[in-house]
Every structure is written in C-alpha cells, then in structure tokens.
Amino acid sequence: MAQPKRRRRPDPRRAAPPPPTQPGVLVPIVVTLAGVVLLVGAFFVYRALTLKPAPPPPSSTTTASLITEIMTIPDSALAQVGGGTADRSNVKRANDPPLKGTDGKPEVLYIGGEFCPYCAAERWPIIIALSRFGTFSGLQTASSSSNDAFPNTPTFTFRSATFQSKYIDLVALEVLDRDRQPLQTASSEQRALLVKYGQNTIPFLDFGNAYVLSGPNYSPQLLEGKSWEQVAATLKDPSTPQAKAILGSAALLTALTCQTTGGQPAATCSLPAIRSLEASLPK
C-alpha cells in the first residue's frame, strides 16, 4: 500500500521572499523634494529681481551742504508741525539714577546699527532735534542693509560723529555695520539699560535716565525709494507725510531733551509746541 506523500515543511532558515515593490511610495518623496528645490530656487530668483541696489551716495560737497541744511532747520518749522504724526507709544519714563556724562552734563545715549532701517529712519529726527542743543561734526551719509526690511533706507551714521554742546553729552553707538559686523561696543552699563528699558530693541535712546525710547517714531516706508536730497526736500513743506513724521518726531525728541536740560535753551524749550509735547509725556 502506497504511503501518502508528506508535505514538506518550510525551512525557517530560508529567507522570506522580499515584499512586492510599491512604486507609489517613492513618488511623493521625489515630488516633495523637487517642490522644495523649486521653491528655494524661486525665492532666490525673486530676491535677485526685487533686491534694490544701494543708492549712490551724494558727493562730499553735496553731503556737507545736506547736513548743514538738516542741522539748521529752524525752530519755527518744528513749531508749525508740532508732534505731527510721530508715534509716542514707545516713550517710557525711566526710574534709574540720572545718567550724566564725564563732565556732569545730562547724557543722551543712542544705541543703533547701520544695517537697521528703523535706526536709519530715526537718525533724521535725532540730528534735527539735537542740533537745537549743540553741533554735530563727522556725520556721514549711509543707507540701511539691502537685504532687510525697507532696504537701502537713506540716512546718516554716527560711527565717526562727535557732538559739542553746553547742555548735554551725546554718546552715539553704532554696534553693527551695514553688513551686521561688529562696529562699536556698548559697555555693560549701556547694555543693561538697553535690556531693561528697550528689551534689546534698536534704535534705543535714553534721555539722561529721565525718559527712554525704543524703536522708531515713524515707518521707514516713508523714505522708500528716495535719495537723501529728496528726503531733505520734503522737509521744506510741512504738509508732506515725511515732514509730518520726521519733524514731528524731531519735536518729540526735542521735548524729551528739554526734560533733561531743565528747559534750556529757553528759546527752544519754551516754544508752545514743545511745551505741549512735554506736558503729554508719561509721568
């Protein structure tokens, strides 16, 4: 009688056959990677097409004339504009001991950076305001970074500037250059003020530890696409948006400085527009 054939058991040592290929698994991965590459490429193409070159700086003769024009804007122009459209929400009362310079005069501290478009916008009213209290020398034209918000905002730099005044001392620091490289160094005390009152926001201004200001008083967008000469020209007409913002900010900064000088010089600090702004400051 024939024996029934036994079924051969599978040898567990033999490798299991490979799973069937799933062609649909790799396709989304490839498509996703290709999409990322395309998006990155499109970003760089867009950036190359939209990146504006830095405007050519004025000649040395034009620069000197321009700076003189900015520094000699009369008090009457500030009085006419008053606070204008300047944003006052970034002004705070300070409660530290008075900040004084080496000769005992009240100190105005500025911390900013040449790359920063908001610092670029704020330097216009800073120069206009502080020129009521003293004289700048060594100012140079500059423009903000070309790869930041509001690229190439026309401005000036304090990197080589000095300031002479019988009312205040000015310490102006540009901590990073236009390429975000270290330029000037703030002391530990200055950095502490920036952190405490400015939350590390630049531009930062400290008016003798009486008042502090962090951030700009108007948007750099108002200067977009303009040359230094064009910005200066707008300041001659108090009805322009630039004059309302820049001269209004200058009047506010003037009022803050008058708070540190005890109302000197009287010719400026007693102007009704300046007195009105002083009265509106935080108590």
Domain of residue 123: give its range: 60-279
pLDDT at 43 over 90: no
pLDDT at 13 over 60: no
226, 130 Cβ separation under 8 angstroms: no
pLDDT at res. 54: 65
CA 100 to chain centre: 25
Asked if residue 46 belongs to a domain, the reply is no
Q: How many domains does the chain have?
A: 1
Asked if residue 8 belongs to a domain, the reply is no
Asked if residue 265 belongs to a domain, the reply is yes
Number of neighbours of residue 129 by Cβ within 10 angstroms: 25
Percent of the chain with pLDDT over 70: 81
pLDDT at 96 over 80: yes
Asked if residue 189 belongs to a domain, the reply is yes
DSSP-based helix, strand, coil % in the chain, nearest 5: 40, 15, 45
Average pLDDT over residues 13-40: 42
pLDDT tier, 9 (very low <50, low <70, confident <90, very high otherwise):
very low
Asked if residue 271 belongs to a domain, the reply is yes
Q: Which residues pair with 3 in a beta bridge?
A: none
184, 174 Cβ separation under 8 angstroms: yes
Asked if residue 79 belongs to a domain, the reply is yes
Asked if residue 152 belongs to a domain, the reply is yes
pLDDT at res. 53: 64
pLDDT tier, 58 (very low <50, low <70, confident <90, very high otherwise):
confident
Asked if residue 74 belongs to a domain, the reply is yes
Average pLDDT over residues 96-125: 96
pLDDT tier, 67 (very low <50, low <70, confident <90, very high otherwise):
very high
Percent of the chain with pLDDT over 90: 76
pLDDT at 253 over 80: yes
159, 184 Cβ separation under 8 angstroms: yes
In the numeric block, the tokens 């009240």 are attached to 106
Residue 170's nearest CA partner among 118, 121, 217, 112 is 112
pLDDT at res. 47: 43
pLDDT at 127 over 90: yes
